[in-house]
Amino acid sequence: MASRHTNVQVGDVLSLDPGTAVSGVALWRDGSLVATSALKSPNGYTATVSERLKEIVGQLDTFLTAHDAWVQIVICENPPHTLLKAVIGAVLVSPRVNSMFSDGHTVAVMTWKSWARAHGAGGPFKDIKGVKALKATGFPVPPGIGDDEADSILVYLAYRDRQKK
């Protein structure tokens, strides 16, 4: 099947930490981090589901366009409930995403937290998250990122190492 995109850059990967109010994304090209973003729902938790999803798609398209990205693979945290699965679906409808949802591209929360612990993050699993955990692994933390974006980086790093085995 031919790609629906004419300018596909091989190697564009999007890692996603889906959230009900904020979803963290990280864009990777040829294994290197390009940029991160926090996709925020309007009015946080008071927005309707359709408002949240529409805003996520718009923000994601703006982010991907700014980086001339054509995403071939979406890696995401394994969603525990339906709303987060809807967030993943919203990401996949972006015209700049040419990827299907695959269980092979999901990373369980405990998997990326275990990866972070094995690479320097300490404390109880419930506390292994965000910028603090990413810093502890020794990965260079981009300035100004939030916890959701840091988690999306950790999702990618755990996935990448799993693929090497």
> What CATH number should be reported for the domain holding residue 143?
3.30.420.10
Contact 122, 136 (CB under 8 A): yes
In a domain, 46, yes or no: yes
Question: Is residue 151 domain-resident?
Answer: yes
Spatial separation of the C-alpha atoms in residues 71 and 4, rounded to whole Å: 12
| Tens digit of each residue's pLDDT (9 = 90 or more) over 149-163 | 999 999 999 999 988
Examine residue 1 and state whether it is found in any structural domain, yes or no: no
User: Looking at the 3D structure of the chain, how many domains does it have?
Assistant: 1
9-62 per-position pLDDT tens digit: 456 999 999 987 889 999 999 999 999 999 988 776 677 888 888 888 999 999
Give the residue with greater pLDDT, 137 vs 103.
137
Collapsed DSSP state (helix, strand, coil) of residue 121: coil
* Residue 7 belongs to a domain: no
The tokens describing 59, both together, are 């923000």
Average pLDDT of the residues in 85-105: 84
pTM metric for this prediction: 0.88
Q: How many helices (H) and strands (E) does the chain have?
A: 5, 5
What pLDDT sits at residue 52?
83
Judge whether residue 2 has pLDDT over 60: no
Domain that holds residue 42: 12-164
Residue 4: inside a domain: no
- Reply yes or no on whether the pLDDT at 5 is more than 80: no
- Establish if 60 belongs to a structural domain: yes
CA distance 88 to 79: 8
